[in-house]
Amino acid sequence: MTSAPFTADHPLRIGTRGSPLALVQANEVARRLREAHGLEDAAVEIVPIVTSGDREQVRPLAEIGGKGLFAVELETALHEGEIHLAVHSMKDVETVLHDAFEIVAMLPREDTRDAWVSPAAAHPRDLPQGAVVGTASLRRGAQIRAMRPDIKIVNFRGNVQTRIDKLASGDVQGTLLALAGLKRLGLEDKATCLLDAPEMIAAVGQGAIGIEIRKDAEDVRAAVAVLDDADTSLCVGCERAMLAELDGTCRTPIGGHAVLIPGGRIKLTAVLLAEDGSQAFRFEEDAAVADARALGTRAGRTLKQEAGEDFVANMG
């Protein structure tokens, strides 16, 4: 990769998935980079890359390799120098990155809540007996089942607009989408209601946009690090420490959401569930911000202890 200043002749290349939401997020990163460094438009280039997760739109992610399928082609492009940085939704980033890469910045976090989208019911609790809800997220499905054990969950994949359009078929009576994505796409009005803790705890990293680079790309690091929102990185780092302790994957229903609270402290709310919602182990504690990652690790350890060896052995 060039070490020269980024110009129209040597642009900073941003890799991203090609979905409408991913492109919005990548363009926001591009806008902030141009603004931060006074770059002309042509000095920052968006490079859409089709990922394995985008090509396979039918089977659940858990069956085809997990959320890392949204990053493998982007990381290959990073490794080969085809792009300088990759933009991710942090909820799609694997808990442990390859040694060659790191997340060097996160943009200010959007609203972390999940949106209930339904033509049939104002809230999941209001659905008729035995109704069908579409979601590809085990976390969302398990929390809906914990709320309403009679509800049937079916796999429901695709980009945000695709899933909204699928509702019109009538095959499902509702779905859940990240409010952050709806806001970024200007579709916030599609939300029937918003779900919050304790009945719906967000995914780790939900609402946060992360920027991944090669560790050896010092010129890129210098350009990108200025975009980092320290509060977002602190909270997401706490959540990801919890996930790492749990060895959490997309095959495990886990929610985790950290927020800063007065007094220089951080509070983490987390849940570990059985896929059918029949068991839910919860954690809520706060700590000094200096101990954010330790709080996440403690949360993961506590949840594993409360769930017990048999439950943990069946995770993943």
Which residue numbers are catalytic? 92
Nearest to 228 by CA among 95, 85, 40, 117: 85
Phi, psi of 106 (to 5 degrees): -130, 140
Residue 44: helix, strand or coil by DSSP?
Answer: strand
E-strand spans in the chain? 12-16, 44-48, 85-89, 101-106, 114-117, 132-134, 152-154, 174-178, 193-195, 209-214, 254-261, 265-273, 280-288
Distances (CA, A) of 37 to 44, 78, 113, 220: 11, 22, 33, 12
**Three-state SS annotation for 4-35:** CCCCCCCCEEEEECCCHHHHHHHHHHHHHHHH
d(Cα 80, Cα 40) in Å, to the nearest integer? 25
- Residue 15 and residue 82 in contact, taking contact as beta carbons nearer than 8 Å: yes
Pairing of strands 209-214, 85-89: antiparallel
- Residue 156 and residue 163 in contact, taking contact as beta carbons nearer than 8 Å: yes
With vertex at residue 59, the alpha carbon angle to CA 213 and CA 175, rounded to the nearest 5 degrees, is: 90
Please enumerate in sequence order all residues whose Cβ is within 8 A of that of 266, keeping only pairs 6 or more positions apart, or say none: 234, 235, 238, 258, 259, 260, 286, 287, 288, 289, 292, 295
